Amino acid sequence: MTEDLTGDLTGDRGGSRYGEKADKVIASGIYERAWRGEREEELSLALLGQRVRLPEQPDCGEGDELRPLCYVRQMKKIGPVLLDIHGGGFVEGTAGADDALCDYYHRRLGIAVVSLDYRKAPAYPYPAALRDIAAQVEWLCRERPWGIRPEQMIIMGHSAGGNLAAAYCLLAVREGLPRPAAQILDYPYLDLQMDCGDRPAMPEAISPGIMEVFRRAYDGGQGRMGESLMSPVCAAQEELAGLPPAFLVTCGRDSLCPEGRRYGELLQKAGVPVARLHCAEAQHGFIEHTFNARSRFAAAAEQKEMARRTVEQTAQWIEMMVSSI
């Protein structure tokens, strides 16, 4: 729904010139209306037993309407769990966005998979989404439902979800929360401090105007874009030390690529094991656009083939990590 409703943000580059337009788009309420519609769909699936309301947490939304919904693929035996965090620029998407992708990992690896959800900006700016993820992870590790083994927990995020996965790992170390055994970051959005006009120019990338909307919506006017829990590339080396091993996917035709590669270098300098997979011809979101039948963007055949290879390589890495835990 983003590009068609904000077409005037897809043209000329330059972050400063987009600020006023981005603020108008945010103030129009289109993202909040879209999120409410997505919530209605997810709540209807919850009534059918296809989504799960986690118990209310202090940092989560009050009441059933705002409480994050999960989609759970459970196992009869106790074992590892993969936590998935969808993307959507912090402003859209639901727990069901990665259904087919999570189904693949569940079948391929034979492990429990839980799709996490979170409240969306601009109605709920930073740190609401991160706190929602943290509350859900804490509950899962405390209650151990659905045959999961917390010490074998792997967290995975895509795009904005990659930001939340990376930020949760930082938060876990900082606040002594349950620490994942590993993290998977697919083309993560890690630097909200960067002016959108300074990103690499390429026709396949998310337009700079849309990026400006995302960063301003998530920040909510708080001026905290340089904080490490909002922009993990801004983390100091001592914050990165002790983070779990990472599997990092970057795309050559993606303006988020430089910050992803930079974060991989920062992790390695801090002594964190990093497996880096750079897909030179891949576009941002190529995995979700391949596995999500409801995606607005149709992936070309070569993008789909790269996505399938990438997901299989990710599955092999997960297998290696699980066997070593």
Long-range contacts of 285-288 (CB under 8 A, 24+ apart): 285/87, 285/158, 285/159, 285/187, 286/251, 286/310, 287/101, 287/158, 287/186, 287/249, 287/311, 288/86, 288/87, 288/97, 288/98, 288/101, 288/158, 288/159
Distance CA 127, CA 299 (A): 32
Of 86, 158, 284, 289, the active-site residue reads 284
Strands in 79-85's sheet, in edge-to-edge order, are 52-53, 69-73, 112-116, 79-85, 148-158, 182-186, 246-253, 274-283
Distance CA 133, CA 44 (A): 22
Of 86, 254, 255, 289, the active-site residue reads 254
Distance CA 154, CA 84 (A): 9
Segment holding 70, helix H or strand E: strand 69-73
Q: Does the active-site annotation cover 254?
A: yes
Of 86, 98, 159, 231, the active-site residue reads 159
Q: Does the active-site annotation cover 186?
A: no
Tell me the backbone φ, ψ of residue 13, rounded to 5 degrees: -90, 165
Distance CA 87, CA 226 (A): 20
Cite the active site residues: 159, 254, 284
